Amino acid sequence: MSTVLAAPPAHPDAQALPFAAPSVEAELNYLAPGTVRPVNYTFEPPAGIPWSSGTLDPRRVTIHNARPLAQNGGISLDKQGFQHVAHASALHDFSDEAQIRDVYLPEAEALLRTITGAAKVVIFDHTLRDSARGSRANAALREPVRRVHNDQTFVSGPRRVRDHLDADEAAQRLQRRFAIINLWRPLNEVEQLPLALCDARSIAPDDLVPTDLVYRDKTGETYSFLANARHRWFYFPRLRADEVLLLKIYDSREEGTARFTAHTAFDDPHTPDDAAPRRSIELRALVFWD
């Protein structure tokens, strides 16, 4: 087995909070029922149009510490729809876009191949976030997202294949299994606004609300989520830069696997007053099996 799949070494503070707590209680922002098709903008919307339409429905939920389960190998992309992997990047300075392109993305592609056993991996976007300096108006440095969502839908998932492969290859690859995976890495240890991840098996079809994501040149589709008390939430306390999360955001396979999940940043009650800003990089990749 590849070393990248090994459990990460125990954190020096493994006996202390928040590691030792089995769960935290926190508020997550769902979508309130009644919004037929919410719209989110990725750039400053025209005058009079909100950045995000639809009413939020904040709900207090229990978010389980996923570390004990992950340590026992109990968490996987195909079961819960997310996974945790120990992996240090060769890149340390994520302020240089050229180095991200030349060092980080090829490394991430290799990691995704190893973990999934895929024959081909196509990374189609990446996003840097900073809770102190980022903003939703800045495509080069965004802020964390405090809304429960999934990045693709049953409509926009297959569309990504046609967007990023030439027509012949797309037609051929669409015949076989493919997935879209988000690889999420903190750039420093997460002290605030960690990512909450929903067990795919606890999501019901009625929870999903297709949502427009408006780019300058096209409109994508994501899922917003209605509250559902059955949702089972997890997080990895104080995730470090040498650990990554993988999120299944689409799978063409219809049976026996998680087809997508849901995620959101949340205000963590364990956050210290002097917490460092949350800085992270995520990328989305098409993953094709032969």
Q: Which residues bind ligand OGA (CB under 6 A)?
A: 129, 144-145, 151, 182, 184, 195, 263, 265, 280, 282
243 binds, among Fe ion, ligand OGA, none (CB under 5 to 8 A by kind): none
Amino acid identity of residue 215, one-letter, is: Y
Q: How far is the CB of 64 from Fe ion (least distance, A)?
A: 20
Nearer to Fe ion, 173 or 268 (CB): 268
Nearer to ligand OGA, 8 or 144 (CB): 144
> Are the CB atoms for 253 and 165 separated by under 8 Å?
no
What would the DSSP string read from start to end of 253-286?
A: --SSS----EEEE---TT--TTPPPPEEEEEEEE
Q: How far is the CB of 265 from ligand OGA (least distance, A)?
A: 4
Nearer to ligand OGA, 97 or 169 (CB): 97
Q: How far is the CB of 76 from Fe ion (least distance, A)?
A: 20
Q: Between β-strands 56-65 and 23-31, what pairing exists: parallel, antiparallel or unpaired? A: antiparallel
> Are the CB atoms for 246 and 77 separated by under 8 Å?
yes
Nearest residue (beta carbon) to Fe ion: 151
The closest of 289, 262, 223, 282 to 28, measured between CA atoms, is: 262
Residues 143-162 that bind Fe ion (CB under 5 A): 151
Please state, in angstroms and rounded to a whole number, the distance separating the CA atoms of residues 22 and 77. 22
191 binds, among ligand OGA, Fe ion, none (CB under 5 to 8 A by kind): none
268 binds, among Fe ion, ligand OGA, none (CB under 5 to 8 A by kind): none
Nearer to ligand OGA, 139 or 171 (CB): 139
Nearer to Fe ion, 143 or 151 (CB): 151
Q: How far is the CB of 145 from Fe ion (least distance, A)?
A: 6
> Are the CB atoms for 30 and 58 separated by under 8 Å?
yes
Question: Quick one: tokens of 260?
Answer: 């997508």
In total, the chain counts a number of residues equal to 290
Which residues of this protein are in contact with Fe ion, per CB under 5 A?
A: 151
